[in-house]
């Protein structure tokens, strides 16, 4: 076969890039990929579905948004008491070309009732104060159009996501007030069941969702609040998908076919998601990304319980120093299997294979995880992930979809459904009665 001259190859590569042909066909070095990423993200906001920075401000800095300067790279600066450096700051958000960020307003599942409502509102206030503190870099967003407008202004569109249905205290009135205060998605559960929904990591109780849980989904549709199915059981996923008139999201989940962790999404659900026109935003948590890491996590938890598991027993029950030494010895013999950027790309590829390219996005869980995959240490690393997808043949159009266009489509669709339902469906006054003591 005749080999074209270098000038001809360059011309072919340039035409291929303009046409959005796969990266494997076009010129394939990092400079080419970086140029393509820059071009895509100049037109499409990169949107991350989940970042836990608000809780870090609450837990580490007593909710004082001025206690740490986010205009300074925090990657080498330990937090109070030697805690891990933050994964998020403005220089790295800029380097990562982040155009939109859902900031999670997570609270622990053991906080319930009116206290849960207050704590949630306080964390929502942290998000708003953060954006006000950095007006040249962040701006609150409430609609898909807001995200596009703020991205064009070269700021990070900042949105609020509630990470657990326990945070509304089983009240649709509270749900409505959370929406009015700015929340644009709610995860139906966190790690434990709510009185109306089953979590992926708790024993099933409601066959997915109770009738009140279905009413929560319907009211979220009426409001225009995205239904987030990360953390819920597969049965709850199915019930919610059947009940929802709007596309749903998974704000931070990966593919269960690759890692058998209950926080990941099974293939049969991915097919239902495609029919719903929703999106899975792939999580970076190593235990959800790497099967070897998932198994290591389980082995270590079992070993920890073997040494000290109050009040039930353990080899060194009541002897925390001996238990600590024994666990350290186990750790030394069993190094943590690394998760990698390439494995995260595997999950994105798999979801594309099963559900389609229109149904996958990015939901890092940065600042909500203790470790990250190799190559994805913080919010500056999104371009590296997109470049890996380009190496696998993803076109510029595909990259735009996973970066943000899929989430924007879902959000705009939810807004249209809400506009219709608000004219046809009255607000429900239902509040679930408190459980008997």
Q: Is the pLDDT of residue 6 over 90?
A: no
Cβ neighbourhood burial of 144 (10 Å; 0-12, 13-18, 19+): buried
For the stretch 40-50, what's the b/e string if a residue is b when 16 or more beta carbons lie within 10 angstroms of its beta carbon?
A: bbeebbbbbbb
Tell me the catalytic residues. 50, 52, 163, 190, 231, 252, 365
Q: Which tens digit of pLDDT belongs to each residue from 104-157?
A: 999 999 999 999 999 999 999 999 999 999 999 999 999 999 999 999 999 999
Q: Is the pLDDT of residue 17 over 60?
A: no
Q: Which tens digit of pLDDT belongs to each residue from 338-377?
A: 999 999 999 999 999 999 999 999 999 999 999 999 999 9
| Alpha-carbon dihedral angle through residues 303, 308, 309, 310, given to the nearest 10 degrees | -170
The pLDDT of residue 435 is 52
Q: Is the pLDDT of residue 23 over 80?
A: no
User: Of 53, 48, 98, which Cα lies nearest the Cα of 79?
Assistant: 53
CA R_g for the chain:
22
Identify the residue whose tokens are 């303009």.
Answer: 18
The pLDDT of residue 228 is 98
29: confidence class by pLDDT, cuts 50, 70, 90: confident
Stretch 53-77: mean pLDDT: 96
**Which has the minimum average pLDDT: 235-239, 267-271, 297-301?**
297-301
The pLDDT of residue 94 is 98
433: confidence class by pLDDT, cuts 50, 70, 90: low
**Which has the minimum average pLDDT: 1-15, 55-69, 240-254?**
1-15
Q: Which tens digit of pLDDT belongs to each residue from 379-414?
A: 999 999 999 999 999 999 999 999 999 999 999 999
- Contact in structure between 52 and 365 (CB atoms under 8 Å): yes
The pLDDT of residue 187 is 98
Stretch 207-221: mean pLDDT: 97
Round to whole Å and give the CA distance between 392 and 357. Answer: 14
Round to whole Å and give the CA distance between 230 and 343. Answer: 19
Round to whole Å and give the CA distance between 234 and 254. Answer: 13
The pLDDT of residue 69 is 97
- Contact in structure between 238 and 203 (CB atoms under 8 Å): no
Q: Higher model confidence: residue 6 or residue 44?
A: 44
Round to whole Å and give the CA distance between 70 and 55. Answer: 15
* Dihedral sign (CA 30, 35, 36, 37): positive
Round to whole Å and give the CA distance between 169 and 132. Answer: 29
Between vectors from CA 355 to CA 352 and to CA 358, what angle results, nearest 5°? Answer: 70
Round to whole Å and give the CA distance between 305 and 312. Answer: 9
Q: Is the pLDDT of residue 5 over 90?
A: no
| Alpha-carbon dihedral angle through residues 336, 342, 344, 350, given to the nearest 10 degrees | -130
Beta bridge partners of 156: 138
Kindly tell me the number of DSSP H helices and DSSP E strands found in the chain. 17, 9
What predicted TM-score, i.e. pTM, was given to this entire model? 0.90
The pLDDT of residue 323 is 83
User: Of 102, 122, 240, which Cα lies nearest the Cα of 183?
Assistant: 102
Spans of all domains in the chain: 28-290+338-424
Distance, C-alpha 241 to centroid of its chain: 19
Round to whole Å and give the CA distance between 70 and 370. Answer: 19
**Largest distance between two CA atoms of the chain:** 81
Tell me how crowded residue 408 is: count the other CB atoms within 10 A of its CB. Answer: 24
| Token duo for residue 310 | 């109050």
For residue 6, give every residue at least 6 positions away whose Cβ sits within 8 Å of its Cβ, in sequence order, or none: none
User: Of 116, 256, 231, which Cα lies nearest the Cα of 248?
Assistant: 231
Identify the residue whose tokens are 């104060």.
Answer: 129
- Contact in structure between 9 and 16 (CB atoms under 8 Å): no
Round to whole Å and give the CA distance between 140 and 424. Answer: 29
- Contact in structure between 255 and 289 (CB atoms under 8 Å): no
430: confidence class by pLDDT, cuts 50, 70, 90: confident
Query: What does each C-alpha distance from 332 to 305, 336, 374 come to in angstroms?
Result: 17, 9, 20
Helices 6-19 and 30-43, axial angle in degrees (round to 10) = 30
Q: Higher model confidence: residue 83 or residue 177?
A: 177
For residue 311, whether the previous peptide bond is cis, meaning omega lies within 30 degrees of 0, is yes
Query: What does each C-alpha distance from 296 to 58, 259, 264 come to in angstroms?
Result: 30, 12, 17
| Token duo for residue 12 | 């072919």
Mean pLDDT of the chain: 91
The pLDDT of residue 432 is 74
The CATH class of the 28-290+338-424 domain is alpha beta
């Amino acid at each position: 076969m005749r080999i074209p001259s270098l000038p001809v190859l360059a011309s072919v590569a340039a035409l291929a890039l303009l046409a959005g042909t796969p990266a494997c066909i076009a010129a394939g070095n990092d400079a080419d990929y970086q140029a393509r990423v820059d071009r895509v993200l100049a037109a499409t906001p990169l949107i991350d579905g989940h970042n836990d920075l608000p809780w870090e401000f609450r837990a580490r800095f007593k909710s004082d948004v001025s206690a740490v300067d986010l205009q300074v790279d925090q990657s080498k600066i330990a937090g109070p008491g030697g805690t891990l450096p933050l994964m998020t700051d403005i220089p790295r958000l800029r380097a990562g070309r982040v155009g939109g960020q859902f900031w999670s307003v997570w609270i622990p599942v053991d906080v319930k009732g009116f206290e849960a409502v207050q704590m949630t509102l306080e964390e929502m206030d942290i998000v708003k104060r953060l954006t006000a503190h950095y007006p040249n870099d962040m701006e609150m967003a409430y609609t898909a159009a807001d995200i596009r407008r703020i991205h064009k202004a070269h700021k990070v569109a900042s949105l609020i996501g509630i990470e657990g249905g326990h945070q509304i205290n089983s009240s649709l009135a509270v749900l409505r007030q959370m929406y009015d205060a700015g929340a644009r998605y709610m995860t139906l559960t966190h790690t434990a069941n709510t009185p109306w929904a089953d979590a992926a990591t708790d024993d099933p109780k409601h066959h997915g969702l109770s009738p009140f849980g279905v009413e929560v989904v319907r009211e979220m549709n009426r409001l225009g609040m995205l239904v987030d199915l990360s953390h819920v059981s597969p049965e709850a996923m199915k019930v919610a998908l059947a009940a929802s008139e709007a596309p749903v999201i998974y704000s931070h989940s990966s593919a269960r076919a690759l890692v058998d962790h209950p926080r990941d999404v099974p293939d049969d659900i991915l097919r239902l998601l495609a029919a719903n026109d929703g999106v899975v935003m792939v999580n970076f948590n190593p235990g959800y990304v790497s099967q070897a890491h998932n198994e290591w996590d389980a082995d270590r938890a079992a070993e920890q319980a073997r040494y000290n598991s109050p009040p039930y027993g353990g080899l060194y029950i009541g002897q925390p120093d001996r238990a600590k030494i024994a666990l350290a010895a186990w750790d030394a013999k069993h190094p943590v299997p690394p998760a990698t950027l390439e494995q995260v790309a595997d999950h994105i590829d798999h979801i594309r294979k099963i559900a389609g390219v229109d149904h996958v996005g990015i939901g890092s869980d940065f600042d909500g995880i203790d470790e990250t995959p190799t190559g994805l240490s913080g919010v500056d690393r999104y371009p590296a992930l997109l470049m890996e997808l380009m190496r696998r043949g993803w076109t510029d159009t595909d990259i735009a979809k996973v970066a943000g266009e899929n989430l924007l489509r879902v959000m705009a669709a939810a807004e249209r459904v809400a506009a219709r339902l608000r004219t046809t469906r009255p607000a429900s006054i239902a509040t679930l009665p408190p459980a008997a003591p």
